[in-house]
Amino acid sequence: MKTVCAWCRAEMEKGDDPEDKEITHGICHPCVDLFFDLDNEQSIAAFIEGVDAPVIVFDSDVTIIAANKKALVIHPYATPVPGRTTPGEMVQCAYAKLPEGCGNTIHCYGCAVRNAIEKTMETGAGVNRLPTYKKVFIDDDIVDKKIYMTVQQSHELIYVIIE
């Protein structure tokens, strides 16, 4: 799958298979520098509001610092609470509700959501439409839900699109 910048349309990654015509979107470093101030959360929020997909932004502590309206329709619990909103809270992971919290239970070791975000932070390599299954709360019931994740890094921030 090829990755192109959603703003300037520059190709960011060619993809592994030249026959694969699928495209995903990210943002290139020049566009980040041009369009918003990384130190200003209001600027980031305005920036991601222009993306025609649900986008959630994480900081280096894997906490949510911004989410656009499209993301909040799908994941109403992704509303940023400074220094506190985690990936597990965002998707209503059943294990995030345990006393240890998101990232601290025995189940978190294999969490595809957290691992994809942390891997991207460590390596800078993004993830495109990674399928994962989560045990989530829906109307007070725990159900298995399939989620597709695209994770991209720009500077110190991680942009996650969850479908």
Report the pLDDT value the prediction gives residue 115, as an integer from 0 to 100. 85
Look at residue 136 in the predicted model and tell me its pLDDT. 66
pTM, entire model: 0.63
Instruction: Give DSSP secondary structure letters for 34-53.
Output: HH--TT-HHHHHHHHHTSSS
In terms of CATH architecture, what is 2-162? 2-Layer Sandwich (3.30)
pLDDT for position 103: 86
38-80: pLDDT as tens digits = 666 667 777 788 777 778 888 777 778 788 888 777 766 666 6
Boundaries of every domain in the chain: 2-162
pLDDT of 99 reads 92
Counting as low any pLDDT under 70, the low residues of the chain are: 35-42, 75-84, 135-139
Give the span between the Cα atoms of 42 and 156, in whole angstroms: 16
pLDDT at 36: 63
